[in-house]
Structure 1
Amino acid sequence: MASPTEKDEVRSRGIRSIAIPSISWNKKSRWQKRLLIKGSEWQHDYVCGILTHSNPIPAPTDQKKRIAVNSKKILATAAATIGLSMSLAMPAQADTANPNLDNQMSPETCKSQAASGYKFAIYYNSNYGGAWRNIGYGVYDFGHVPIGGAPQGGLQPLRYCGTGAGANQDIKNNAASAKNKHSSYYGVLYYNSGYKGNADWIGWQNSWSKLINTYNQNASFSWQSI
């Protein structure tokens, strides 16, 4: 406990006192501190286990800066995480209310890649041969791309357009080459559905005459930026 002299000193200043857990007398010198902030009314004293103050002490300026910087980092990380998950399922070219419907029914899907507004084309054969299909948006599972609306039975796979080898066949686990004419996104084919497993990353404005990790083992697709 503080000596009577020290308590009287506190009272004489007219400063409100708050008791905190007492500290052994032999540690008094360690706890006897004074902080006086010039140009302000803030002050507090540690006197043998008695905290006195006239007002709450504000956080030091450098601490406020650290809090602000950390908050910005947290927000930036959250935004990046959200952006990544959005890039998996959403298209590179534009948002849409129903990407599955567009991937299934849009007239862009069966145009030549040069004429299509969709930026990714997948082919049945190597060297861009046989049937093809243009893809505009992420595909969680080539084997089931439901378009919504009234209840529909069975799976709704994405199929090749065109004529020749592979026409009207399912795309899932049935592709050999691909082209990506996007200007800033990778087109990524995955071995497993749900954007998982080994993948082929086809760079923007690039093409692969023969897939490697997903040759006849392609289950899903996404746009990715790094």
Structure 2
Amino acid sequence: MTHDPGSRGPSLRLVGKGESGGADQTASAARDIDWSILMARAQEGDRAAYRRLLQEITPYLRSLAARRHRDPGDVEDSVQDVLLTVHSIRQTYDPTRPFAPWLVAIANRRFIDRLRRQGRTRNREVPLTAEHETFCEPAANLEERPDGRELEGMVSHLPPAQQKAVRLLKLKELSLKEAAAMSGMSITSLKVNTHRALKSLRKMLLDRSEP
């Protein structure tokens, strides 16, 4: 319904079907701008901005992971892996480019790594669940320059068993079977310690972002 074009009163138009998609796109674009700003501030050392960014992208990453993984444990581990990768290569982000595609590229790579790993596991009938530590392929806004020293520093604060599990499975990229043979730990113990280590590392990221 509209007023006469010649009138000075405000026009009123009923929203048609499908127009809500435009509103969703606008909200998504606004969110992307907010995240880009937060990341730019984080790169400049603003810990409060970085903490807020991590808190905001976590539920978004969880929704993406839930589309790929059925097991809640796989979903949470994938989210934590993505957050650690974002932290390691955060300085490679170009604030002049959209943030969400950069984040999704990282997330997709990590999710695919996990699914491929699980596929190889089923084929060999070996219960592997930890994937290799990998980074996104260089594209538009990403280069592979992980801050290994900072990550290693955080790992050094973990309990010995968790340190060993993370170093073997994540940093050295061994399979669970190889890591078990090298460490003397059982596969179950390695999985449990890796899961706990990822949670602890994520907490460290959030704590470091506090003012």
Q: Given the two structures, how large is their TM-score scaled by the length of structure 1?
A: 0.23
- The structure that is helix-richer by fraction is 2
Q: Given the two structures, how large is their TM-score scaled by the length of structure 2?
A: 0.24
Structure with bigger gyration radius: 1
- The structure that is strand-richer by fraction is 1
